[in-house]
């Protein structure tokens, strides 16, 4: 079975705390009639600190899409290589062992993809397959794992490198003052993660079965408006309630594999916000402490989009939380509304 190894992570040095976030909101939106509601929602996310690729003073400026995308390209090329090297070391593989690179991001655009740059600059084989995924948002972390799983099943002996690069702060829009935008300004953080999926050998979790699901007629609920000033995040107030229809889908996936969703040993869940985790506990009938690693990621990093599932799993690896034979699920959620799920087994 394909094995997902321990991920690596880069968190920028610029840190903004909850208190600083609230102070900036009070200053920048002091005349906004919904400010008090936004401050309450930001506080209720539970996010204590976030890492930003630029100091908050620069993020508060409005330089336009071109400049912001240039920052995205510059900083990704600066920091991705070290994360990739660590991920390869975690899996005990070399650049030449990699058959495909899956690159996911929803916070910047490059063409050719960063995959081409990595192949040229880091010595990957010229016939390495490139699989960039740009429009699945937070669900892309789960999707990347699933596509790596599929690739290895289709190409026995292959190894896949996954890179997630998310600089969500580059989409901060100081002129957007709706409740969804204000909430996102206090929720999202920046990170780069990378992980390797190998055909065989090593430690980690064995990927057993994957599945995708899209909730009908919700494609407008999480989206971008793309303007000259960049990506404008739009969040429908109905999004927090989407775990109720997704919980039965997750339950059926595990049941079809002979497992019980309520009795898994670990849950690697996208921490989009506390409501998502709370609702999943409720509808899956899972004890809240089972989601502690996802909650820790949210508290200490914020919502880092497609990188969340990798950071939650990395935290599990650091604590030796998953042991041989443990049953678990990976689940990422994002625009669509889309769920990407994978059943896995501790090695």
Structure confidence by residue, pLDDT tens digits, 101-127: 999 999 999 999 999 999 999 999 999
Compute the mean pLDDT over every residue in the chain, rounded to the nearest whole number: 94
Q: Report the 10 Å Cβ neighbour count for 112.
A: 11
Residue 273 has pLDDT above 90, yes or no: no
Distance in angstroms (rounded) separating the CA atoms of residues 56 and 36: 21
CB 187 within 8 A of CB 308: no
Scanning 9-50, the segments in alpha helix (DSSP H) are: 18-28, 35-44
Distance in angstroms (rounded) separating the CA atoms of residues 103 and 288: 32
Distance in angstroms (rounded) separating the CA atoms of residues 254 and 324: 19
The whole-number pLDDT of residue 30 equals 82
The tens digit of pLDDT for each residue in 133-177 reads 999 999 999 999 999 999 999 999 999 999 999 999 999 888 887
Distance in angstroms (rounded) separating the CA atoms of residues 268 and 294: 7
Distance in angstroms (rounded) separating the CA atoms of residues 250 and 252: 5
Distance in angstroms (rounded) separating the CA atoms of residues 335 and 136: 6
State phi, psi for 235 to the nearest 5 degrees.
-130, 120
State phi, psi for 94 to the nearest 5 degrees.
-105, 165
Give the catalytic positions in this structure: 138
The whole-number pLDDT of residue 58 equals 86
Q: Which domains does the chain have, with CATH numbers?
A: 3-198 (3.40.47.10), 205-346 (3.40.47.10)
pTM, whole model, 2 decimals? 0.95
């Amino acid at each position: 079975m394909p094995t997902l190894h321990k991920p690596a992570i880069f968190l920028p040095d610029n840190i903004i705390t909850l208190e600083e976030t609230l102070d900036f909101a009070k200053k920048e939106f002091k005349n906004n009639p919904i400010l008090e509601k936004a401050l309450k929602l930001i506080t209720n996310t539970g996010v204590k600190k976030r890492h930003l690729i630029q100091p908050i003073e620069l993020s508060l400026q409005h330089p336009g899409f071109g400049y912001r995308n240039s920052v995205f390209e510059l900083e990704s090329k600066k920091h991705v290589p070290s994360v990739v090297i660590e991920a390869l070391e975690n899996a005990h593989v070399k650049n030449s062992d990699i058959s495909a690179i899956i690159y996911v991001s929803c916070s910047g655009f490059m063409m050719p993809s960063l995959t081409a740059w990595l192949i040229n600059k880091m010595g990957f084989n010229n016939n390495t397959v490139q699989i960039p995924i740009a429009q699945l948002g937070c669900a892309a972390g789960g999707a990347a794992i699933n596509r790596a799983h599929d690739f290895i099943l289709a190409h026995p002996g292959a190894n896949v490198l996954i890179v997630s690069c998310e600089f969500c702060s580059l989409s901060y829009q100081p002129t957007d003052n709706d409740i969804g935008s204000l909430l996102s300004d206090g929720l999202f953080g920046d990170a780069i993660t990378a992980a390797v999926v190998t055909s065989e050998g090593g430690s980690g979790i064995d990927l057993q079965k994957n599945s995708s699901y899209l909730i009908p007629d919700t494609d407008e609920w999480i989206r971008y408006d793309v303007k000259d000033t960049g990506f404008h995040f739009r969040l429908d107030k109905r999004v927090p309630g989407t775990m109720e229809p997704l919980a039965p889908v997750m339950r059926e996936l595990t049941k079809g594999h002979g497992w019980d969703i309520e009795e898994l040993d670990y849950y690697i869940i996208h921490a989009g916000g506390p409501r998502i985790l709370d609702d999943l506990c409720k509808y899956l009938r899972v004890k809240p402490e089972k989601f502690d690693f996802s909650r820790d990621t949210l508290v200490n990093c914020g919502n880092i989009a497609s990188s969340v599932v990798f950071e939650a799993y990395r935290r599990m690896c650091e604590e030796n939380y998953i042991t041989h034979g443990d049953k678990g699920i990976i689940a990422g959620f994002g625009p669509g509304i889309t769920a990407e799920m994978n059943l896995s087994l501790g090695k």
